[in-house]
Structure formats: structure tokens, C-alpha cells
Chains A and B, each alone.
Chain A
Amino acid sequence: MIELFLTLAPDWALRHAAPLLVVIPMMCAPLCVFIPSGRIAWFISILASALSLFMALLLLAQVQTVPGGQISYELGGWEPPLGIEFAVDALNATILLLVAAFGVLAVVFSWPTVAAEVRAEKRAMFYGAYLVCFTGLAGVAITGDAFNMFVFLEISSIATYVLVALGASRDRRALPAAFNYLVMGTIGATFFVIGVGFLYAATGTLNMADIATRLPELEGSRTVQAAFAFIIVGLGLKAAMWPLHQWLPNAYAYSPSFVVVFLSATATKVALYALIRFLFTVFSPEFAFEGASFGMLFMPLGIAAMVVCSFQAVFQTDVRRTLAYSSVAQVGYMLLGLSLGTAIGLSAGLLHLVNHALMKGALFMAVAGVVLTYQGTTLRDFAGLGRSAPWTMTAFAIAALSLIGVPLTAGFQSKFALLVAVQDQGLWWAALLIVFASVLAVIYMGRIMEAVFFKPPHNPQKIHKEAPITILVPLWILALANLYFGIDASFPIGLADSAASAVLGGGS
């Protein structure tokens, strides 16, 4: 099937898939400026995201068939390490596929919510900002150059601040939330760029693969250790690593529905990818200081995120805030997975990354449907919705079960893989804490589900109203994906395994 796909694809697409994936949305974004109508901008965004998804699929297929599993594209014909290189391996390709697929689903879903939440004259620019954000995220995931990564990271972040702030037409608290996000995000990016500067001072190169080959001879250099610390803190801020997650709950709670669906599935994931790239490819777990950081930094922080943020999620009255805190907790699971430093640990973390995008995407889409029809995100607004909007809420329930980790859902697969990986290292207490955090997930999702299905409607006059079809279709695609990958997880597990082995095998 992969071969068939590759033979069907045109030659130019095969050769230039890597730059086109970034360039197509980048060229469509300024087009949106010229267009007065939001609806046409919406079509352009769908088209651009779908083309990018096609390119991402091509890249994945190529990575799986090319010997060595690596594609390198020289921008401008300048050879790396002097020129900027787009380097794709199994890890990249998975993240790119995730970003592009969620771009398509989120954009298709977006029109009714954007029409309700964004003023008419701003809609075209709104989609322009989305495309810029998409460009940035795809660029972070595809580039092989450390400084280029910073530039793409900031492109996506600046677009994100604008997108979050546009939630102000529904709730003005979006403005301070976006401002805090801007300050924290910029500090994070600046820390990252300081780290890259230290690396450049120590190695004299910015190409990540080239840095990796030159670092072993600098073992013990304090410059490199300082670079490591700065990069970890910077990317940790962007990835909402506990306790650097303070910007996230408000930004997620008040931004427009479309933005939160897209961001929850992609933004922190891409930052986490960058973290994995630096931890395993650029630096190598064999360095003493990095090995120590796994056990003494990432594992405690990951576990703390799991437990503390799940607790915080229990006490929220706003459904979107509950889900936002739960997102930070899920980042904790992923960090725990990668902190094991083993192939199965990293693979479990990556699997959870993909699955979390699936379930959070579905959950936030369902919430968006509720926001659209009933204008409210508090727990009371959700009361009795199981009867008035059964389709939306059934999908919500499936995704919620997946988030908890009930068997036959995608969430179970990744949590089980994580348990196996943790047991493999003999860390039974960590395994117990994973189970404990899942029990907390039962509580906070259970509160919402109880309100949805067993409580009488808060306002009995609420009419029987389902979310529109453009919301229901992507929502159910994600909900069914949650079920399908819970029963037959060979596709995501295969992706995560090959990504983990590419990173761990290719790094040294």
C-alpha cells in the first residue's frame, strides 16, 4: 500500500515534499489578507492544510521505505552543515502527520464556531493567523537547524498569542491570558536561544546532526552543560512542563474554540517533540549530566504534573479549565515515558502523545459544540446535555473514557504501554502513581459525565439542539479513532516504535 501510494504521487511532490509542507500554508497565509470573505479564507485554509497533510503522508511513506529512514532536503542548494537543512526521520514524520491531520480536522470543524465567535471583518485574517501558526509548527517539526527551529517556534507562538487574544469577543479574560502567555512564551524562546548560542559557541555549528557529532569530544564542558540547562527550561516552558505550565490553563480556557482544539492537539506536542529531539538526538542520554537529569528532573516533574494537575483538575468548575489541567497532567505522562531513557519508555511516551491529541481534540471539539449551542462552559451548563445533544455527548463520553484509560480505548493502550515500560525499570511506585492519577481522571471526568447524563438540565427551557454537522463529523472521526486505536493499535504503536528506535539508534 505504501509503494502504491508512492508510485501514484507525482514526481515533483516526492522530491519537494519537505519544503512544500511548510511553504504551502506559508503562501496561503498572505493570500488570506487579500480576501475580504471569511468563508473563502476558510476554503483556502482547508485546501492548504489538506495539501500539507498529503505532503506529510508522502514524507512518512518515504521515511518508511528509504534505506536508513532519513530524508534530508537542502534549502537553496546549500549543503548542510553550512546551509539550512530540512531533516525528516521516523520521529519527525509522525509529528508532522499529527500536526497536519489535526490541522485539517480542526479547520473543517472550525467554520460554525468562528462565525459565532469572531467578528466578520476579522475572519479572513483569523484564518491567515491560523495558517501562520500551522507553518510555524510544521517548521519546528521539520527543520534540522537549531536556530531555524527558534525562528519557527516564534512564528507559531506569535500567531498563537494573536489567536488566543481573539477569544476576547466572547470573554475579555482572553486578553490577560494571551498577555501572560506572550510573556512566558517569549521568556521560554529566549532561554532556548541562549542555549543555542552556547551550543554554537562550543561547537561552531547550528546544524543539529552536526552538533551531535561534535558534542562527545566536549564531554564535561560547562558551556555545553549550560546550553543543556537553558534549552531544557526554554522548551519546557513551551511544552507546559510542570511547574512551567502556568500560562496554559487560562490560555486554553478563554481562547476561541477552534484555537483550543488545534493548540491542545499540536502546540505542546510540537514543543515536546523539540525537547525529545534535543534530549536524544543533539545531546545524548549517555552524557552524565543528561542521564542524571532524567532521573532527578524529568521523572519527578512528570510524576508531579500527573498527580498535582489531576488534583487541580478535580476542583475546577469550568469544563475547559478541567481539560486544560488534564492536558498538563498528560504532558506529565509523556515526560515520565521519555525520562526512562529506554526505547519502550520513549515509545510509550510518543504513543501517549499521539493518543492524547486524539482524545483532547475530540473533547475540546465536543465542548466547542456546547459553547456554540448553549454559550457556556461551566459544569452547570453541561447538566442534562446527554438528553438534548446525545450525539455530541456520546462522542464526548467516548473521548472521556479514553482519557481515563478504560480498556478498548486508545488511552488504555498508551497507559498500558507506559505501565509496562515503568515496570520494566522496576519502578513499581511510579506504576502505582500512574494508576492513582488515572483514578483522579475518573473523578474529574466522572463529575462532568455525571452532570451530562444524570443531572436534570440546569435550564429546562433549553431546546433539543445538536451541534452542526461540520462539528459532528470531525468529532466522530476522532471519537471512532479513539475506539479503533484502542482495539487495533498496531498503526500508532508501529509509528511510535520506529520513531523511538530512529531516535535512540540514530543518535549515537
Chain B
Amino acid sequence: MKGYFKKNNIEFEDIDISKDEKQLQKMIKDSGQMGVPVVDIDGEIIIGFDKEKIDKLLKIHPVK
């Protein structure tokens, strides 16, 4: 997923929840679940690499 953001020139903050207990708890609270990855795009929480949702929110048009 990080590769996908880089490929599309999307700036992002990479939070490693294995090293940050506070952010881990925030992720569980915000997403209502315990799996990774989770993406927060302007307050919209996306669980897993849901490309369709991510493309829609970031207005990414699939590059050929």
C-alpha cells in the first residue's frame, strides 16, 4: 500500500503501531477492529488495502 501511495505521489504519514501504544489504541478505537493496515484519509477510516475506496477518496485514476 505504501508503494501504491508513492507511485501516485500521495504524501502520507507512516505510523508504526507496533512501536506506538497510543496510536495503536487510537487505531483500534477509530476503526473498531484490530487488523492492519488502516488508513485515515481526512477522517475517513479505511480498513485494509481497499483500492477502490482509496482511489475514490484521493481521486486517483488508475495509471496505465
Chain B binds chain A: no
Chain B residues at the A interface, C-beta cutoff of 8 Å: none
